[in-house]
Amino acid sequence: MIFWIIAGWVGFVLCPWYGVEDGFFSFEWLVDGYPFEEDYSPAAFLIGQGEKLWLAPLLIPLLLPLLALGREKSDPTYFRILTVAGALGFGWLIIQGFSIGIRGFNFQWMNAAFGALGDRQFGMGYGAMICASAFLFLFTQGIAARGAVNGDVFVVGAIGGVVTIVTAFVFFPIANMLFSAFVTDEGAYSLSAFVGKFFDDRLWGLGCFFGARCGAALNSLVLAIAVGFITTVLGLAFALVVTRSGFRWKRILRALTVLPIITPPFVIGLALILLFGLSGSVTVFFADLFGTQPTRWLYGMPGVLIAQTLAFTPIAFLVLIGVVEGVSPSMEEAAQTLRANRWQTFRTVSLPLMRPGLANAFLLGFIESMADFGNPLVLGGNFDVLSTEIFFAIVGAQYDQGRAAVLAMVLLFFTLSAFFAQRAWLGKKSYTTVSGKGDAGVHPLMPMGLAIPAMIVAISWAIFTATVYGMIVYGSVVELWGVNNSLTFKHYVTAFSIRIEEEGIRWTGAAWDSFWTTITIAAIAAPLTGAVGLVTAYLLTRQSFAGKSAFEFGTMLSFAIPGTVIGVSYILAFNVPPIEITGTGIILVVSFIFRNMPVGVRAGIASMSQLDKSLDESSLTLGANSWHTFRRVILPLLRPAILAALVYSFVRAMTAISAVIFLVSAEYDMATSYIIGRVENNDYGLAIAYSTTLIFVMLSAVALMQLIVGRTQIGRRMTQSRTNV
């Protein structure tokens, strides 16, 4: 408690209250007129100079907790003082932050009530941030002292912290944006503005049945269902071949599935164009062979469907392999003992037990397809989908933010319905088969009738994937694709040349800037994502508190929200005080954390549910508090989950595009948005060369991390497999 009281005062008296313009990590302000210069001044100095007097009431909640010093924790006044001080301080910070902005009062009625302010304020800086967290944690300590969650200070604090950041960086921007669906062109609120945009023909039109075009919402829905279905089937075929067949090159199959995950967007689309486009190699070959006229069949739904299937099948595979392996062999053996043949066993025992995996795989394919931005952009032709429509509603010549918000709502509605439908379908049945006791045996092989088609599908798909990637590498080393196919390294040189001079190495290549930014941002975001995700997972699996399911929903929400929506809402919400971070690297890091956090949460939950609760209990019985238990017992056992979350968020931060494209700025340009620029410029060579480099960089990063994970796992797996066999 004393720590947070001190922190509050430090934030108020020592740190610059407002955001420093030169960036979060520049400390120029220390020598530039601090502490009296208005821009860098701490709140206490501002008030002392008679400025920003609306900050003065914060002194009350800062002074209040001093009264609690020396009191017993069980004393009712103790918790009353802390909760009141915390709530007052935090509440006042928020109220003043939202009501006073860059042009004085933000709301008309305040001008009417108090007269024009004649002053303004910028976004929160170190001081305000530290103060806010101090108030927040004083408040949670107060509640804990009152007895919430068994008076556990760490747990209450963690809940408070996660709720606050999720509110600030997920709920607030999304709500802020969705509200604009109800705003008319003149800036008034109106329901009819929403209705008019919602029932637009461009959204729901059925024109494609009459020769014209269908609405974007219908297109998206049909596409997403198709992609979800196909990826699930393909993923299952892959998983079965890998686990239940005598197939020899399983390792290659597994390796192939990693590739699409680490592929920057567009690349698959570009490779498909180079193969199947109007002048693509395959198209031309077959046109010559049969003497037909090549067509543009690729552009539109077929192309997007193929590209998305290529990109998302591995995700379905990764989900399903766990489930397929997880079905306990003893169940299947039991079925066979009861004289079921292989086919019956598979159909009546194995397949039903895989239901959660199938549902999850479908859901992921569905959501990924809905949110996908790069492939429809490159291959969509006249086939409009929601994610690209949102983008062009914002950046297009018509600039219609309300329309973007309506489209975003429809998209959100689809993804959330899928989410709930999946839960309803799975219901509350138990699919647990691994009990930890006497789990011996091996999986039976697939029935022949299934094995042959599964093998054929998996192998031909693998060959297709390999071809596409072969084309990518080839495309990066030819002069000008399709026109001049002589081999050259010039694209790599343009992108990544360096010059060694006296002062050291000069990074002269065009791609270096965005490359280093991307690596830095990804490296900063990854551990933070892991941390937030695991703490949340810990709260969800190990603690029970009021509103837990709402809490779980909130943390998973950002996964169902497509990146374009996040990008737009962030730029609208965080360009103005109180949180003013557009144009900085922070906004990129923040968006990655909250985009990828759900995966960290899921990974954490999955591995934490495997850890017996008795471990925590014995630690608690031995007198450790829950923070110690978390740090000394749970965290070390979670290493695989931590690394999985790290790898995932690192890779996603390097390949994400849909949200990023709105958030990059002059100083912080990301690799993916640079690549789009090249693609737009018909500079395929450079774009593909850059992407290939990124693929290899990520491949080595993943391999490095896998090496570490692999080591930690081997010890446990070895003993396990010995008992199994």
Partner 1 sequence: MKRITATIAGSLIALAATASFADKLTYYCSAQEDWCQLMARSFEDATGIDVNMTRKSSGETFAQIRAESSNPKGDVWWGGTGDPHLQAAEEGLTMEYISPMRDQLHDWAISQAESAGNKTIGIYSGALGYGFNTDLLAANNLPEPSCWKDLLKPEYKGHVQMANPNSSGTAYTTLASMVQIFGEDDGFEFMKGLHANINQYTKSGSAPIKAAGRGENTIGIVFMHDAVKQAVSGFPIMVVAPCEGTGYEIGSMSIIEGARNLEEAKMFYDWALSVEAQNLALQVNAFQVPSNMGAETSESAPDMSQIKLIDYDFKKYGSSDERKRLLQKWDEEVSTLPQ
Interaction site with partner 1 (CB under 8 A): 21, 28, 30-36, 101-103, 122, 201-202, 205, 207, 210-213, 273, 277-279, 293, 296, 299, 377, 381-382, 388, 392, 394-399, 480-484, 510, 571-572, 575-576, 580, 582-583, 664-667, 669, 677-678, 680-682, 684
Least distance (Å) between residue 492 CB and partner 1 = 17
Under a CB-based contact definition with an 8 Å cutoff, are residues 633 and 616 in contact? yes
Helices and strands in the chain, H and E counts: 35, 6
Least distance (Å) between residue 165 CB and partner 1 = 23
Least distance (Å) between residue 59 CB and partner 1 = 20
Q: Which is nearer to partner 1, 133 or 691 (CB)?
A: 691
Least distance (Å) between residue 211 CB and partner 1 = 3
51 is written with which tokens? 């400025």
Buried b (16+ CB within 10 A) or exposed e, 388-402: bbbbbbbeeeeeeeb
> At CA 482, angle to CA 481 and CA 485, rounded to 5?
65
Q: Which is nearer to partner 1, 216 or 643 (CB)?
A: 216
Q: Which is nearer to partner 1, 29 or 559 (CB)?
A: 29
Report the alpha-carbon distance of residue 259 to residue 70 in Å, rounded.
60
Least distance (Å) between residue 116 CB and partner 1 = 16
* 3-state SS assignment for residue 501: strand
Least distance (Å) between residue 648 CB and partner 1 = 29
Least distance (Å) between residue 558 CB and partner 1 = 21
Least distance (Å) between residue 37 CB and partner 1 = 8
Under a CB-based contact definition with an 8 Å cutoff, are residues 149 and 155 in contact? yes
Least distance (Å) between residue 576 CB and partner 1 = 6
Q: Which is nearer to partner 1, 147 or 396 (CB)?
A: 396
Q: Which is nearer to partner 1, 122 or 171 (CB)?
A: 122
Instruction: Please report where in the chains the tokens 């394919």 appear, as a residue.
Output: 365
Instruction: Please report where in the chains the tokens 């009296």 appear, as a residue.
Output: 36
Q: Which is nearer to partner 1, 418 or 664 (CB)?
A: 664
Least distance (Å) between residue 82 CB and partner 1 = 33
Under a CB-based contact definition with an 8 Å cutoff, are residues 683 and 470 in contact? no
474 is written with which tokens? 């080839």
220-389-593-93 Cα dihedral, nearest 10 degrees: -130
Q: Which is nearer to partner 1, 325 or 669 (CB)?
A: 669
Q: Which is nearer to partner 1, 151 or 583 (CB)?
A: 583
Under a CB-based contact definition with an 8 Å cutoff, are residues 55 and 43 in contact? yes
Report the alpha-carbon distance of residue 467 to residue 273 in Å, rounded.
13
Q: Which is nearer to partner 1, 106 or 344 (CB)?
A: 106
* 3-state SS assignment for residue 498: strand
Report the residue count for the chain.
Answer: 725
For CA atoms 358, 360, 363, 364, the dihedral sign is negative
Bond preceding residue 35 cis, omega within 30 of 0: yes
Q: Give, to the nearest 10 degrees, the angle between helix 639-655 and helix 684-724.
A: 170
Q: Which is nearer to partner 1, 299 or 592 (CB)?
A: 299
Tell which phi-psi region holds residue 91, choosing left (phi > 0), alpha (psi between -120 and 50) or beta.
Answer: alpha
Least distance (Å) between residue 111 CB and partner 1 = 16
Least distance (Å) between residue 678 CB and partner 1 = 7
Q: Which is nearer to partner 1, 257 or 582 (CB)?
A: 582
Least distance (Å) between residue 167 CB and partner 1 = 22
> At CA 515, angle to CA 513 and CA 521, rounded to 5?
100
Q: Which is nearer to partner 1, 323 or 471 (CB)?
A: 471
Report the alpha-carbon distance of residue 724 to residue 436 in Å, rounded.
11
- The widest CA-to-CA distance across the chain, in whole angstroms, is 93
Under a CB-based contact definition with an 8 Å cutoff, are residues 147 and 81 in contact? no
Q: Which is nearer to partner 1, 532 or 587 (CB)?
A: 587
Under a CB-based contact definition with an 8 Å cutoff, are residues 473 and 692 in contact? yes
**Cα→Cα distances 684→266, 285, 314, Å:** 10, 22, 26
Residue 511: beta bridge partners? Answer: none
